[in-house]
Amino acid sequence: MAKQVTKDAIKKLDTKLECLICLDTFKQPKLLPCYHVFCKSPCLEKLVTKDGRSLTCPTCRHIVPLSEKGVAGLQSDFHVDHLFEIRDAFDKAAESSKTQCGNCEERKATGYCRDCRDFLCNNCQAAHQALKLTRSHQIVSRQEFQEQATNISTAKKTIPTCGKHGNQLKIYCDTCKELICTDCTIRLHKDHNYDLVADVFPRHKEDFVSSLKPVKEKLDKVQQALKDFDTLAKYIHNQRATLEAEIHKEIDEQHLLLDQRRTELVGELEMMTQQKLKDLATQKDQVEITQVKLASCLEYAEVAFETGTECEVLEMKAPALKRIEQILTEFDQDTIQPEIDTKMKLITNGKEQLKKSCKSYLRIRDDKIRYSLKGENLAGVEVNMAMEFELQLKKEYQNVEVVAAVTQTPIKCEIIRRDNKYEITYTPTNRGKHKLDLTINGEHVKGSPFTVVAMSQPHTLGAPSRVISNLKRPSGVAISNSCHVIVAERGSGQILIYNGLYEQIQAFDSRGKAPVGVAVDKDDNIYISDRDNNKIRKFTANGDFLKEVGTKGDQRLQFNKPSGIGYDKTNDKIYVGDQYNNRIQVLNPDLTFHSTISDNEFKNPLDVSFDRTGNAYVVNWASHTVKVFQKNGKLPRTFGTYGSGPGQLSNPAAIAVSNTDTVYVVEMYGHRISVFKTNGEFICSFGNKGKKGGQFNDPTGIAIDDYGNIVVADRGNERLQVF
């Protein structure tokens, strides 16, 4: 029976002596501060960081700092060492019935020394107890050892010895918190508070056990939490299965309704199509008869002229003219036009009927819901920057579903409800044009879907995404409503048009020597400033000439080197930078005079752009400033001074304001783009003089398209750069 128990105990011990990294028996086990034990080499050594200062426990991810000794400096685990001793004792206990004395190796063993971990015969036991070095060793009979060794909990531990004096460590120093021997108490711990281990152990054990109670309580809670996680996960899986079944059932029912309605609508559409085609055929038949009458009359007359004599022609003239008059009287231009309404109204009506028949599937808007939107800018945003706006319902609604979603392009959307207010946050993850849908109970709010143009953050602009080379001194740039890029090419006198892919699709003559400024109105009409001829010209989107105004002078509709042109969509007006007259002339779309913006501090205003509310931003070439005017003409602020430092400007020649309330100023002789907030706060600048991508040489124009692309006319390098 003892042998069977020993085998079971050995099997149990072997599982406790296995390293969880190499899955083999421990080799030089080391105890980590998180109380996990692993082999010293190679298990722990291969986990050490490159700098040799720490390692991470593979079980709990605890970071373990290491001393200069590295893994070797970690504490050995006495518990594992003791288990190895017990494992060795088990092996010996299993064979103790035929074990010889380990000292003389002649007589049969009758006892076991726990300190030497070896069997002894009677003679050797007597000698063992007589020697000074071994007289304190614990010796038990072979039978007693065999009984105790089969149980881990009852197996006694070996008492450690003092490294300095060789005596057993039977005394505990409370002052130093360490085990000592009797010799240690004489000098090293003379005045310390110490006592026998056997006497102080119950007190320390009780204190230790008491300290472990909170750990046990928390462990119980953690284990219960893990069970709760498993229970909840199982519940979610069950719920998912149930809901999936309901979804399939609901959709199958709706599909059946939709299929039925589709059959009805297709049938009705076929009937309507046949009826409309029949009516059309009847009308066509009548028109064909009219065609025959007209053709026969004309053919007879032409034959008469060719073959008849003069008398015969004169004789048939009267009845022929009477017949022609009769045919022309019958002929009505409107009668040859199809009278049938070609619009298939059934489709629209069918949608409404479909909504009614499937109203459990299609959400119908509650027209009683009233709401308001609040937000600084629902359309302008920079990439990876969150923008917020608020949807507020006029009163509390119990069954309201507010959904914000973006189509076509990835974007992050979040909605937080606070009573009858919904805080909506959207964050574009890439640059471009997006559509933001905002619905209440399935119906779009006013203005939805909103157009969201996400632009790159100014400080991230570096190398251009595209360069269009081989131009002839490009000066002004504008973007049409169809996202075409319009370029005034001063060197050739032409106006170039590129599509959204920056492929040239058209070019036309500006009818002047030096086109420098360009703007596009809401109807895509193109306005050009001819600097050398002091004229403003208007063209259609296809380049057809419409009108021109201007002569040299300082009166209305007279100019002195007109340069940049801006279009304000908030009031449908054209603004011309009248450089040497030091003013901005405001024109109506038909090029009639409207008003003038002037200021004593204007010094060669070259270009003008507008923010979303219609404030005008004017760049002054000679004073190196940007002046901001409200719609009433008041000057609320000025920013910029001469220089090349942050926030300073060097001969600004062009300006553009993005829908993110960001102002881009082209510095012609600074060979860079400076970026500001609309309040004049400097953000960053990019570019310097050169020919590489992202460098400039006398840039003179800038525009921002609907996808957030920034197009710069790099005149000196005779190219466009797109950022």
With a cut of 70, say whether residue 154 has pLDDT above it.
no
Lookup: tokens for 574 = 């054209």
Contact yes or no for 549/556 (Cβ under 8 A):
no
Q: Is residue 222 part of a domain?
A: no
Q: Is residue 227 part of a domain?
A: no
Torsions phi, psi of 290, nearest 5?
Answer: -60, -40
How far apart, in whole angstroms, are the C-alpha atoms of residue 470 and residue 461? 24
Q: Examine the domain organization and report whether 386 and 477 are in the same domain.
A: no
Instruction: Please report, for the domain that includes residue 127, its CATH number.
Output: 3.30.40.10
Q: Please, what is the end-to-end C-alpha distance for the chain in angstroms?
A: 87
Residue 14, Cα to own-chain centre: how many angstroms? 53
Give the residue among 353, 544, 449, 470 at the shortest CA–CA distance from 717: 470
Lookup: tokens for 122 = 């009677």
With a cut of 80, say whether residue 291 has pLDDT above it.
no
Tens digits of residue pLDDT in 521-553: 999 999 999 999 999 999 999 999 999 999 999
Residue 602: domain span? 458-722
Give me the pLDDT at residue 365, please: 35
Give the end of a domain, one of 398, 421, 455: 455
Residue at token pair 């945003």: 381
Q: Choose between 704 and 269: higher pLDDT.
A: 704
Local confidence band at 358 (pLDDT 50, 70, 90 cut-offs) = very low
Local confidence band at 122 (pLDDT 50, 70, 90 cut-offs) = confident
Q: Examine the domain organization and report whether 560 and 428 are in the same domain.
A: no
How far apart, in whole angstroms, are the C-alpha atoms of residue 576 and residue 560? 11
In 523-562, which positions are buried (b, 16+ CB within 10 angstroms) versus exposed (e)?
A: eebbbbbbbebbbbbbbebeeeeeebbbeeeeeebbbebb
With a cut of 80, say whether residue 711 has pLDDT above it.
yes
Local confidence band at 350 (pLDDT 50, 70, 90 cut-offs) = very low
Local confidence band at 148 (pLDDT 50, 70, 90 cut-offs) = low
Contact yes or no for 702/477 (Cβ under 8 A):
yes
Q: Examine the domain organization and report whether 410 and 519 are in the same domain.
A: no
For the chain, what percent of residues have pLDDT higher than 70?
Answer: 85
Q: Is residue 181 part of a domain?
A: no
Report the domain count for the chain: 4
Name the average pLDDT for the chain.
81
Q: Examine the domain organization and report whether 475 and 514 are in the same domain.
A: yes
Q: Is residue 160 part of a domain?
A: no
Q: Examine the domain organization and report whether 531 and 658 are in the same domain.
A: yes
* CA distances for 493 relative to 514, 531, 540, 702, angstroms: 6, 11, 17, 19
Return the beta strands (E) in 599-643 as ranges: 605-610, 616-620, 625-629, 637-639, 641-642
With a cut of 60, say whether residue 510 has pLDDT above it.
yes
Tens digits of residue pLDDT in 6-38: 566 667 777 778 888 888 888 888 888 888 899
Average pLDDT over residues 294-301: 77
Give me the pLDDT at residue 410, please: 53
Give the end of a domain, one of 338, 362, 386: 362
Tens digits of residue pLDDT in 561-584: 999 999 999 899 999 999 999 999
Q: Examine the domain organization and report whether 338 and 389 are in the same domain.
A: no
Give the end of a domain, one of 420, 455, 490: 455
Contacts of 370 (CB under 8 A, 6+ apart): 393, 394, 395
Return the beta strands (E) in 364-503 as ranges: 371-374, 380-382, 387-393, 402-407, 411-418, 421-428, 432-440, 443-444, 450-455, 466-468, 474-479, 485-489, 494-498
Instruction: Please report, for the domain that includes residue 551, its CATH number.
Output: 2.120.10.30
Give me the pLDDT at residue 1, please: 38
Residue 278, Cα to own-chain centre: how many angstroms? 57
Give me the pLDDT at residue 359, please: 44
Q: Examine the domain organization and report whether 523 and 510 are in the same domain.
A: yes
Report the sign of the C-alpha dihedral through residues 529, 530, 536, 542, in that order. Answer: negative
Average pLDDT over residues 316-331: 73
Give me the pLDDT at residue 487, please: 97
Q: Is residue 198 part of a domain?
A: no
Q: Examine the domain organization and report whether 105 and 51 are in the same domain.
A: yes
337 secondary structure, DSSP code: S
Local confidence band at 153 (pLDDT 50, 70, 90 cut-offs) = very low
Give me the pLDDT at residue 568, please: 94
With a cut of 50, say whether residue 639 has pLDDT above it.
yes
Q: Examine the domain organization and report whether 333 and 404 are in the same domain.
A: no
Tens digits of residue pLDDT in 376-401: 555 567 777 777 778 777 655 556 67
Contact yes or no for 512/530 (Cβ under 8 A):
yes
Q: Examine the domain organization and report whether 446 and 356 are in the same domain.
A: no
Q: Is residue 54 part of a domain?
A: yes
Give the residue among 48, 42, 3, 51 at the shortest CA–CA distance from 21: 42
> What's the Rg (C-alpha) of the chain?
48
Give the residue among 482, 500, 437, 428 at the shortest CA–CA distance from 457: 428
Give me the pLDDT at residue 370, please: 64
Give the residue among 681, 676, 722, 682 at the shortest CA–CA distance from 699: 722
With a cut of 90, say whether residue 488 has pLDDT above it.
yes
Residue 667, Cα to own-chain centre: how many angstroms? 33
Torsions phi, psi of 548, nearest 5?
Answer: -145, 150
Tens digits of residue pLDDT in 255-266: 877 777 777 777
Instruction: Output the DSSP codes for 238-261.
Output: HHHHHHHHHHHHHHHHHHHHHHHH
Local confidence band at 206 (pLDDT 50, 70, 90 cut-offs) = confident
With a cut of 60, say whether residue 343 has pLDDT above it.
no
Q: Is residue 296 part of a domain?
A: yes
Q: Examine the domain organization and report whether 434 and 547 are in the same domain.
A: no
Q: Is residue 396 part of a domain?
A: yes
With a cut of 80, say whether residue 315 has pLDDT above it.
no
Torsions phi, psi of 90, nearest 5?
Answer: -60, -45
Average pLDDT over residues 489-514: 92
How far apart, in whole angstroms, are the C-alpha atoms of residue 624 and residue 616? 17
How far apart, in whole angstroms, are the C-alpha atoms of residue 536 and residue 557? 9
Tens digits of residue pLDDT in 44-89: 988 999 888 899 998 888 899 998 889 888 887 767 766 776 776 6
Residue 598, Cα to own-chain centre: how many angstroms? 45
Give me the pLDDT at residue 349, please: 47
Q: Examine the domain organization and report whether 445 and 559 are in the same domain.
A: no
Return the beta strands (E) in 52-201 as ranges: 54-56, 63-65, 75-76, 111-113, 118-120, 139-141, 171-173, 178-180, 194-196
Q: How many helices and strands, by DSSP H and E, does the chain display?
A: 8, 48
**What is residue 120's three-state secondary structure?**
strand
Q: Choose between 333 and 466: higher pLDDT.
A: 466
Tens digits of residue pLDDT in 364-378: 333 446 666 766 555
Contact yes or no for 661/669 (Cβ under 8 A):
no
Q: Choose between 89 and 96: higher pLDDT.
A: 89
Instruction: Please report, for the domain that includes residue 372, its CATH number.
Output: 2.60.40.10
Calculate the CA dihedral of residues 585, 586, 590, 592 and round it to 10 degrees: -60
Give me the pLDDT at residue 584, please: 93
Instruction: Output the DSSP codes for 506-534.
Output: EEEE-SSS-EEEEEE-TT--EEEEETTTT
Give me the pLDDT at residue 5, please: 45
With a cut of 90, say whether residue 674 has pLDDT above it.
yes
Give the pairing type, strands 171-173 and 194-196.
Answer: antiparallel
